[in-house]
């Protein structure tokens, strides 16, 4: 377990139990020993056939853990409650969850439900996101904020105004100056008093990968001059009282609390200036950026790590706002954050299976076969072979490698000329592998094939090189015997994982034996990708038409088992993914079925049975059609 640093990136939600399996601690630090859930048991429950008491789902599988989600929302709230109390801050914390991080219906509904007691709200950045946030918040706390970010046209703004009519606490955050005229015009038209926010373009710049949109030249928000014009225009329209919120976002994965405090301090100054200019300011919304320590290194100079935890983050925000507001004698604002990654990353685990490892192919060669091989060599290759044998006898390892390499090259040449058969070439490859393995010079890194599409399930790895912890979920009591990279099922050279946390270019892995993981794994070898609950699902595409994973929702339970599966959704079928690309599986099936009928008829005719023996024809035809129908129904993995 220490090899995979699970205690560093996994605490307090993941650890290794006495069976050598990863167990989930669903309530974080408060989890009692009997509440721990063995991840392998979930996988078996999900994937065992229905006849064996399982759910019959295919892998890859996303295991969603609402208890972890609850713990994250509550921990964030407690961190701010503590910071507020410890600093004598005179207003409350009231966070929102940006739905773009994971739009899954149950994730959003769960967050609204878990956060309802402390008015936790939602953030939307597009019209469909706004619609889903509106409908979810109907079941939430009426005071929860509904922050409307993103580029807005008249329809978006009208919808945000409708939300206010429905007594939802929507705030239209201006990202572009032009949006203001639309807000004024449309709100007058529908007779709704809007609550308006402005997104400020801060000078503070986050220099990591995720901060490229921050700073003065950043893509989003209003400049100082634009903010001043907005204030003027609202004053002219008699609507300055509607301006109540200041928003900014320095970027995701803010590396240090020093940078955070710098940005929050700058924003607090703008907030105080807006108060001075007569706006009815109430809320400062510090955006997202609360980071995740993916490798557990707590390094401040890495895109996949951050040098602080929830508590330090909350303290930095509260102290920076308090300091500025106290100096300007401004009433402390409600503090809102839009943390996404920090809320949803831990709650979902992607499980996939390694089913073969490429690498050393053991040559199968009899004495006669060997003679045939040697006889087939030309004069030079024959000499290389004899030299190789002699060097082996003398134990001269470097010479062995040299002769093996020469032999291989010569044989490839002979094959290209047509004077060596394919069986002989394969045998030479095997012989050379055998030599390098015997003297410990073979490439120690194996390629494990995994039933996954990197493009669908870990798009940020492919797109921006982001690393996630990837670990076998069982056999952790055994020392891994090899190192490997993971190659996915797509026919794409980018479809592989060859970089791992800790800067490693391969992962320690257990050998796939005939019986794989033995009793615990039922002969299978399962790996998990952790901390990928944010962004990955929404970004993933259907490259090679591999669809998404199956999903189970698992709650900790105090019954005979420590968990209960409350939802099981099979991944999309071949027909589903074809539909995404506008194909019509029903028509495709009819075309293929028609073709099958024609061929069966032709086949019968050729066999001279074109007359009365239609029974056979019918059976064959029905079998073909049913196998085709099944193929549309199967998962693409
Ligand atoms: N708010 C805004 C405006 C964003 O652009 C983002 C994402 O970059 C977030 C919130 C969520 O950020 P994070 O997931 O880093 O908390």
CATH number of the structural domain spanning residue 19: 2.40.37.10
Same domain, 278 and 217: yes
624 pLDDT band (50/70/90 cuts)? confident
Ligand 1 in reach of 101 Cβ (< 6 A) = yes
73 inside domain = no
What is the distance in A from the centroid of ligand 1 to the CA of 287?
6
Taking CA atoms only, the protein residue closest to ligand 1 atom 4 is 288
Same domain, 376 and 448: no
- Tell me the HSE value of 48 on the side-chain side, using a 13 A CA sphere: 12
Q: For 575-596, how does the pLDDT look when each residue is reduced to its tens digit (9 = 90+)?
A: 998 888 888 999 989 998 998 8
What is the distance in A from the centroid of ligand 1 to the CA of 290?
9
What CA–CA distance (Å, rounded) separates 318 from 93?
A: 9
Mean pLDDT for the stretch of residues 555-566:
91
Residue 445 DSSP class: E
Residue 491 DSSP class: S
CA 425, 428, 434, 436 torsion: positive or negative?
negative
What CA–CA distance (Å, rounded) separates 306 from 320?
A: 19
Ligand 1 in reach of 536 Cβ (< 6 A) = no
Query: Does the ipTM surpass 0.95?
Result: yes
Helix H or strand E encompassing 567: strand 563-569
What is the distance in A from the centroid of ligand 1 to the CA of 449?
34
Taking CA atoms only, the protein residue closest to ligand 1 atom 11 is 288
Asked which of 16-25, 134-143, 194-203, 414-423 is least confident by mean pLDDT, the reply is 414-423
Mean pLDDT for the stretch of residues 348-367:
74
% the chain with pLDDT above 90 = 64
What is the distance in A from the centroid of ligand 1 to the CA of 430?
53
What integer pLDDT is reported at residue 600 of this predicted model? 78
Query: Mutation test of ligand 1: which of 72, 95, 100, 245 has the most ligand atoms closer than 8 Å to its C-beta?
Result: 100
85 inside domain = no
488 inside domain = yes
Strand partners, 92: none
Residue 490 DSSP class: S
Distances (CA, A) of 316 to 121, 153, 265, 313: 22, 36, 10, 5
What integer pLDDT is reported at residue 542 of this predicted model? 62
CATH number at residue 161: 3.20.20.10
Last residue of a domain, one of 384, 416, 438: 438
74 inside domain = no
Which two three-digit tokens encode residue 333?
A: 């604002």
Same domain, 255 and 348: no
What CA–CA distance (Å, rounded) separates 528 from 4?
A: 12
What pTM did the predictor assign? 0.86
Query: Mutation test of ligand 1: which of 208, 338, 538 has the most ligand atoms closer than 8 Å to its C-beta?
Result: 338
What is the distance in A from the centroid of ligand 1 to the CA of 344?
12
What integer pLDDT is reported at residue 614 of this predicted model? 55
For the chain, what is the domain count?
Answer: 5
Helix H or strand E encompassing 144: none
Ligand 1 in reach of 197 Cβ (< 6 A) = no
Count other C-beta atoms under 10 Å from residue 585's C-beta. Answer: 17
Taking CA atoms only, the protein residue closest to ligand 1 atom 10 is 288
Mean pLDDT for the stretch of residues 307-316:
97
State which ligand 1 atom lies nearest to the alpha carbon of 251.
8
Ligand 1 in reach of 208 Cβ (< 6 A) = no
Same domain, 553 and 613: no
What integer pLDDT is reported at residue 516 of this predicted model? 43
What is the distance in A from the centroid of ligand 1 to the CA of 97?
9
pLDDT at 366 over 70: no
Taking CA atoms only, the protein residue closest to ligand 1 atom 9 is 288
Same domain, 22 and 51: yes
461 inside domain = yes
Distances (CA, A) of 551 to 42, 72, 568: 11, 20, 6
519 pLDDT band (50/70/90 cuts)? very low
pLDDT at 357 over 80: no
Query: Mutation test of ligand 1: which of 249, 345, 347 has the most ligand atoms closer than 8 Å to its C-beta?
Result: 249
State which ligand 1 atom lies nearest to the alpha carbon of 199.
3
Residue 444 DSSP class: -
Last residue of a domain, one of 571, 602, 619: 571
What integer pLDDT is reported at residue 515 of this predicted model? 45
Q: Which of 272-281, 405-414, 500-509, 620-629 has the highest mean pLDDT?
A: 272-281
What CA–CA distance (Å, rounded) separates 415 from 408?
A: 10
CB 142 within 8 A of CB 130: no
pLDDT at 452 over 70: yes
- Sorted by sequence, the CB contacts under 8 Å of residue 106 that are 6+ apart come out as 64, 66, 553, 567
89 inside domain = no
Ligand 1 in reach of 76 Cβ (< 6 A) = no
Same domain, 456 and 558: yes
Please give the sequence-ordered ranges of beta strands (E in DSSP) within 161-220, or none if there are none: 169-174, 196-199
CB 533 within 8 A of CB 346: yes
State which ligand 1 atom lies nearest to the alpha carbon of 149.
3
518 pLDDT band (50/70/90 cuts)? very low
- Mean pLDDT over the full length of the chain: 90
Ligand 1 in reach of 337 Cβ (< 6 A) = no
What CA–CA distance (Å, rounded) separates 362 from 538?
A: 43
Ligand 1 in reach of 221 Cβ (< 6 A) = no
Long-range contacts of 41-47 (CB under 8 A, 24+ apart): 41/561, 41/563, 42/552, 42/554, 42/563, 42/565, 43/351, 43/473, 43/526, 44/522, 45/552, 45/565, 46/550, 46/552, 46/565, 46/568
Distances (CA, A) of 195 to 135, 281, 307: 19, 10, 36
Strand partners, 564: 555
Helices (H) and strands (E) in the chain, counts: 22, 21
Please give the sequence-ordered ranges of beta strands (E in DSSP) within 359-499, or none if there are none: 445-450, 470-472, 482-487, 496-497
Same domain, 480 and 347: yes
Ligand 1 in reach of 63 Cβ (< 6 A) = no
> Any idea which residue has 């004495």 for tokens?
367
Residue 549 DSSP class: -
451 inside domain = yes
Q: For 258-274, how does the pLDDT look when each residue is reduced to its tens digit (9 = 90+)?
A: 999 999 999 999 999 99
State which ligand 1 atom lies nearest to the alpha carbon of 287.
1
What is the distance in A from the centroid of ligand 1 to the CA of 166?
26
Task: With H, G, I as helix, E, B as strand and everything else as coil, classify residue 64.
Answer: strand
Same domain, 377 and 326: no
Query: Mutation test of ligand 1: which of 129, 252, 337 has the most ligand atoms closer than 8 Å to its C-beta?
Result: 252
Same domain, 348 and 494: yes
Ligand 1 in reach of 252 Cβ (< 6 A) = yes
What CA–CA distance (Å, rounded) separates 473 from 44?
A: 12
Residue 480 DSSP class: P
Task: List residues with catalytic annotation.
Answer: 491
Which is it for strands 243-247 and 196-199: parallel, antiparallel or unpaired?
parallel
pLDDT at 142 over 90: yes
Same domain, 111 and 143: yes
What is the distance in A from the centroid of ligand 1 to the CA of 594?
52
What CA–CA distance (Å, rounded) separates 153 from 130?
A: 13
Q: How far apart are the first and last CA of the chain?
A: 29
pLDDT at 385 over 90: no
Q: For 482-493, how does the pLDDT look when each residue is reduced to its tens digit (9 = 90+)?
A: 999 999 887 777
State which ligand 1 atom lies nearest to the alpha carbon of 290.
16
Q: Higher pLDDT residue, 350 or 420?
A: 350
339 pLDDT band (50/70/90 cuts)? very high
Ligand 1 in reach of 289 Cβ (< 6 A) = yes
Query: Mutation test of ligand 1: which of 97, 98, 251, 290 has the most ligand atoms closer than 8 Å to its C-beta?
Result: 98
Phi, psi torsion values for 540, nearest 5 degrees: -60, 140
Quick one: how far is CA 533 from the chain centroid?
A: 5
- Residue 585 structural domain: 577-633
**Residue whose C-alpha is closest to residue 169's, from 200, 132, 196, 129:** 196
Q: Does the N-terminal peptide bond of residue 60 adopt cis geometry, omega within 30 degrees of 0?
A: yes
- Sorted by sequence, the CB contacts under 8 Å of residue 213 that are 6+ apart come out as 219, 220, 251
Helix H or strand E encompassing 383: helix 379-394
180 pLDDT band (50/70/90 cuts)? very high
pLDDT at 169 over 80: yes
Ligand 1 in reach of 338 Cβ (< 6 A) = yes
Same domain, 482 and 544: yes
Query: Mutation test of ligand 1: which of 172, 289, 303, 532 has the most ligand atoms closer than 8 Å to its C-beta?
Result: 289
- Tell me the HSE value of 428 on the side-chain side, using a 13 A CA sphere: 30
State which ligand 1 atom lies nearest to the alpha carbon of 125.
3
Same domain, 288 and 142: no
What is the distance in A from the centroid of ligand 1 to the CA of 415?
58
What integer pLDDT is reported at residue 494 of this predicted model? 79
What is the distance in A from the centroid of ligand 1 to the CA of 637?
32
Asked which of 69-73, 267-271, 497-501 is least confident by mean pLDDT, the reply is 497-501
What integer pLDDT is reported at residue 125 of this predicted model? 95
DSSP states of 244-305: EEEE----SS---HHHHHHHHHHHHHHHHHHHHTT----EEE--S-----TTS---TT-TT-
Mean pLDDT for the stretch of residues 397-408:
89
What CA–CA distance (Å, rounded) separates 616 from 624?
A: 12
80 inside domain = no
CB 61 within 8 A of CB 350: yes
Taking CA atoms only, the protein residue closest to ligand 1 atom 12 is 288
Helix H or strand E encompassing 550: strand 550-556
What is the distance in A from the centroid of ligand 1 to the CA of 122?
12
Task: With H, G, I as helix, E, B as strand and everything else as coil, classify residue 458.
Answer: coil
Ligand 1 in reach of 290 Cβ (< 6 A) = yes
pLDDT at 20 over 50: yes
Q: In what order do the strands lie in the sheet with 96-98?
A: 96-98, 121-124, 145-148, 169-174, 196-199, 243-247, 283-285, 334-336
What is the distance in A from the centroid of ligand 1 to the CA of 208?
14
- Tell me the HSE value of 73 on the side-chain side, using a 13 A CA sphere: 27
Angle between helices 614-633 and 585-606 (to 10 degrees): 150
């Amino acid at each position: 377990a220490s090899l995979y640093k699970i205690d560093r990136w996994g605490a307090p939600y993941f650890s290794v139990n006495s069976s050598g399996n990863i167990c989930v601690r669903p309530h974080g630090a408060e989890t009692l020993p009997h509440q721990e859930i063995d991840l392998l048991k979930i996988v078996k429950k999900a994937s065992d056939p229905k006849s064996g008491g399982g759910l019959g789902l295919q892998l890859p599988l996303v295991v969603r853990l609402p208890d972890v989600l609850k713990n994250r929302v509550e921990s964030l709230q407690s961190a701010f409650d503590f910071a507020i109390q410890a600093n004598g801050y005179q207003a409350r914390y009231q966070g929102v969850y940006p739905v773009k991080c994971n739009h899954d219906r149950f994730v959003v509904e769960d967050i609204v439900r878990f956060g309802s007691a402390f008015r936790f709200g939602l953030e939307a950045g597009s019209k469909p996101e706004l619609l889903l946030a509106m409908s979810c918040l109907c079941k939430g706390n009426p005071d929860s904020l509904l922050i409307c970010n993103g580029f807005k046209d008249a329809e978006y703004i009208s919808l945000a105004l409708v939300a206010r009519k429905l007594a939802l606490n929507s705030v239209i955050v201006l990202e572009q100056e032009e949006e203001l005229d639309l807000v004024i015009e449309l709100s007058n038209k529908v007779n709704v008093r809007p609550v308006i926010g402005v997104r400020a373009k801060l000078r503070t710049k986050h220099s990591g990968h995720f901060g490229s949109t921050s700073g003065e030249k950043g893509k989003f928000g209003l400049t100082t001059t634009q903010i001043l014009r907005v204030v003027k225009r609202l004053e002219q329209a008699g609507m300055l009282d509607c301006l109540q919120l200041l928003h900014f976002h320095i970027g995701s994965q803010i590396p240090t609390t020093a940078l955070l405090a710098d940005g929050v301090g700058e924003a607090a100054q703008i907030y105080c200036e807006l108060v001075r200019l007569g706006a009815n300011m109430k809320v400062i919304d510090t955006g997202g950026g609360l980071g995740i320590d993916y490798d557990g290194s707590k390094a401040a100079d890495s895109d996949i790590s951050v040098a602080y935890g929830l508590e330090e983050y909350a303290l930095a925000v509260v102290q920076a706002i308090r300091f500025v507001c106290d100096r300007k004698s401004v009433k402390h604002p409600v503090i809102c954050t839009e943390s996404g990654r920090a809320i949803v990353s831990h709650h979902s685990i992607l499980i996939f299976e390694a089913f073969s490892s490429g690498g050393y192919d053991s040559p199968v060669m009899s004495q006669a076969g060997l003679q045939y091989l040697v006889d087939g060599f030309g004069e030079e290759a024959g000499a290389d072979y004899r030299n190789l044998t002699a060097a082996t006898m003398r134990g001269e390892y470097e010479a062995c490698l040299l002769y093996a390499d020469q032999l291989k090259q010569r044989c490839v040449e002979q094959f290209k000329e047509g004077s060596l058969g394919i069986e002989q070439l394969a045998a030479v490859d095997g012989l050379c592998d055998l030599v390098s393995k015997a003297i410990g010079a073979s490439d120690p890194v194996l390629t494990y094939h995994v039933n996954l599409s990197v493009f669908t399930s870990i798009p940020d790895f492919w797109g921006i090189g982001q690393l996630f912890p990837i670990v076998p979920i069982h056999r952790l009591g055994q020392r891994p015997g090899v190192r490997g990279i993971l190659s996915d099922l797509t026919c794409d050279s980018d479809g592989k994982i060859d970089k791992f946390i800790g800067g490693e270019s391969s992962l320690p892995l257990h050998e796939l034996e005939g019986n794989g993981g033995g009793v615990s794994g039922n002969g299978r070898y399962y790996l998990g990708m952790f901390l990928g609950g944010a962004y990955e699902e929404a970004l993933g595409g259907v490259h090679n038409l591999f669809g998404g994973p199956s999903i189970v929702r698992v709650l900790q339970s105090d019954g005979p088992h420590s968990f209960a599966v409350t939802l099981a959704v099979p991944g999309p079928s071949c027909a589903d993914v074809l539909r995404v690309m506008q194909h019509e599986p029903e028509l495709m099936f009819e075309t293929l079925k028609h073709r099958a009928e024609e061929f069966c008829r032709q086949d019968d005719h050729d066999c001279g049975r074109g007359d009365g023996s239609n029974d056979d024809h019918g059976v064959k035809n029905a079998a073909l059609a049913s196998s085709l129908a099944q193929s549309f129904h199967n998962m693409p993995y």
